[in-house]
Structure 1
Amino acid sequence: MLSLHSNKRVHRIALCLQYLLLVLIMSWGLFSLSSCSKDKKETDRYSFWKGDIENYYYILDMNNQPLQKVVGKPYMIMEYDPTNGYPIRIEFGLYDARNEYLPGVEGAIPEPFLSASSFTYSDRLGLYGSVDLLCNWEEVSSKTKLPSGDFEFTIDGGMNYFGHETYHFTFTPDGMEGEILNSTATWGGRISDTKAFKLLRKFNSSTIQ
C-alpha cells in the first residue's frame, strides 16, 4: 500500500511539472509573438511605393526640344527615420520602361535601361521589363513637413553637362506625386511636367529584400 501511495504521489508530481512546463512554453510563445510584433513596428524603416499607370518625362534633343519621351510605371523605395517619418534616401525609377520619339526629333540620346530581374526587390514589388533607374539610393537634399501634415522633399542631382537636375516629391501617408525640375536643361537633359509621377504606398518593411 505504501508503494502504491508513493507511486500515485510521484505521478501527481510529474503531472504538475508537465502542466507547469506547458504553461511556461505557452507564456514564452505569447511573449515572443508580442516582442516580434513590437520589434517589427519599431524597426520598419523602408516604405515601398508603386504606380500602375504609365507616367513619362522628356529628354531634350539636339535642338533643345522635348521631342523624346521615356515612358514607364513609377516605383520608389524610401528609407525614412522611424521616429519622425522624414525621408533619408530613395531609390526611384520607371519599370516596364521604353523610349519614344516624337515627330521632328533630331539627335535623340536613348535612355539606357536595366533588367528588372537584376534588382533583388523586383519580385517583392512586382517590377518587370526594363527599368529606368533615375535615383540610385540618393540622399534627400531637403525635406519639409507641410502644415497639412504632408511631407515635401527634393533630391538635388547637381550641375552637369545636361543642366541642373532636381527631383521634387510631395507625399501623404498613402500617395505621392513628383516631377523633375531642370531649368537649365540642354541636349540630353531630363525635364517633366508638374506632378508627372504618381505613386501609391504599397507596404512598409524593416528590410529591402
Structure 2
Amino acid sequence: MSARIGVVTFPGSLDDGDAARGVRLAGGEAVRLWHADPDLHGVDAVILPGGFSYGDYLRGGAIARFAPVMESIAVAARDGLPVLGICNGFQILCEAHLLPGALTRNQHLHFRNRDQWLRVEAIQPVWTNAFTDSQEVLIPVKHGEGRYVADQRTLEELEANGQVVARYIQGNPNGSLNDIAAISNAAGNVVGIMPHPEHAVEALTGPSIDGLGFFTSVLKHLAGAGAQA
C-alpha cells in the first residue's frame, strides 16, 4: 500500500493540486485535507502548499496558522509527523512556530517569478534523502514575501545543526539571510522551502524534474519506517 500524503487546501491556496500531482508522480496517494477540518484522516505526512491563504491578510500565513487543521498538524509534527511547507506553507510553519525565523517582503520589494538554482545543503532522512550532497537543482520561485530572516543566534544554530536544507546559488532572488531557501526543525521532520518543487516534477511543464526528489524522499522515508515497524 502506498503512503498517504495529505495536501491541505486553505482559502486562497493555488498550488494544492500541483502538490497532489507531485505526490502521485512519486508513487504516493494524495489525500486532500480541508483547512476547517481538524481530522488528518490518518495520513502519513502533510504538505502545506503555496498560494495566498486567507488572502495573506495581516501577512503571509498569519491567519492560516489558526486554522483547525493546523492545530492538529502542529501536535502531530511535534510527535514526528513529516511536514513540508512550500512557499506560503513555509510562511505558515514559521507563523505556527514549527520553524524558527520569518519570511518577509523581498528586499527589492518586487514579486520574483523565475527558475532558480539551489544547492541542497542537508541530506536529511525525511525530505531530501533522494539527493546527493551539495547537489544543484533548478526549481521555480514565485513570491513577494520570501526573504528569510532570523536573529543572529538562530542563524548560527541553523548552520551549526545542519538545518539549512537548501541555499540559493547563482543569485539570491529575495535577499534571504545566508542565501537560505529552505530550513528544517531540529528533529528534521518539518521542512519549509520557499521555491516550488511541485513545479519541477515533469519535463513537459517545469524547467527540470529536480523537485520530484522531495516527494520521493518522504515516500522512501515512510517505507523505511514501515519496514522497521
TM-score bracket for the superposition, by shorter chain length: under 0.3
Greater fraction of residues in strand = 1
- Compute the TM-score of the two structures, normalised by the length of structure 2: 0.25
Larger radius of gyration: 1
